Structure 1
Amino acid sequence: MSSMQDLQARVAAVLALAPVVPVLVIDELKDAVPLARALVAGGLPAIEVTLRTPVALDAVRAIAAEVEGAAVGVGSVRKPSDFTDALKAGATFAVSPGSAPGLIAAARDIDLPWLPGVATASEAMALFEHGYTQLKFFPAESIGGATALKAIGGPLPELRFCATGGIGAHNAHEYLALKNVPCVGGSWVAPAAAVKAGDWGKVEALAREAVALRG
């Protein structure tokens, strides 16, 4: 079993791969591999597949096995068994919208890096007491946006946040300019219409634009 310090280092390494982590809701399993390949080709190798559809875990399994260069994770983790399912599917990290006590306890017993979600300074401080330094700030735009994250960074300089929720090409740069934000999460790089049409060139182009947001 890896130490908390090692697990946090592994999360930090994922968040450092690119300025944007695509957050995907995959409805059709056939789309998983070509979608992931387009994102990786565009420079976004860290990919979060949310557990919001019946094919999500199979999509993770396919991406892990077939897409070279992808660091695929599982998002929308809400219960302890999700950790086990994610690890079995080949996920390299897990992401949650929040940080329920049951998840915190379960995360101690599995060798899978976890990015728990927070919405307040108190939640961030509580997770820091458990050894977490890499957190998800969600839903970012609804809870103060980049201004709030900048303020939190003052008294909590040890923490780093992947901001997610309401973020797109129009405002990602506001978050990426902050010292405590290594990356943001968003779905705009894989629009539903492009995925449905199999327009992987469009997805790759959006990924390249997202990489350039860091400046």
Structure 2
Amino acid sequence: MGMMEESSGRGTTRRAGPREQENVAIFGSLRTIHNDLTSIPADIIAVREWTRFRCRFGCAAYGTHFCCPPFVPSTEETRTMIAEYHSAVLARFDTATFPSGPDGLPPSRGEILRTVQQTIADLERAAFLAGYYRAFGMGASPCALCSTCVAQEMLDAGTTPTPADAVRCRQKKVMRPSMEALGIDVFETVKNAGHSIEVLTGRDDPPIYFGLVLLD
């Protein structure tokens, strides 16, 4: 399947297939919400089992956020769901370009992640209202919409949360699972989309986050 890549100086330009050409109008509309977008075919989204192992054995958020494993769908469910789509939009967030706060300090990681999560929710809603009724967004990293997730509050109270308890989330309209939480290999997917991406080697290096909105 073909892919349409907007010229950004970071990737290659490939010929758009017929379905991607049909999405030009919505793509332009979504760029009024967030400019750094790439229209991609859904079949370049890589779902890999190893990502969930990294969640379980490398991330402190595992089991403490309802947007993270084990409260989210499995990699197999993710793979099956993505197979129902033909096109998607990849959103890039370069934190080096984020404005400083009123105190002159750079935004905190929590502030950045809240911006990413809200933007993905706004993109999903805009696509839905434009007629893409199957639109579904995915963010990056554990949710930061609340200072403490309800799942963590339950653990602190001595109760083990279950996937069914996710209904207690205070930000259901905005909270979406991250790409990696659902088993998506972000590095491989981003490279498939024509972007360059590297592992950060310094704690002060500004990260680049990616989100995804499945369209149709």
TM-score by length of 2: 0.28
Higher helix share: 1
Higher normalized contact order (CA 8 Å, seq sep 6+, divided by chain length): 2
TM-score by length of 1: 0.28
Larger radius of gyration: 2
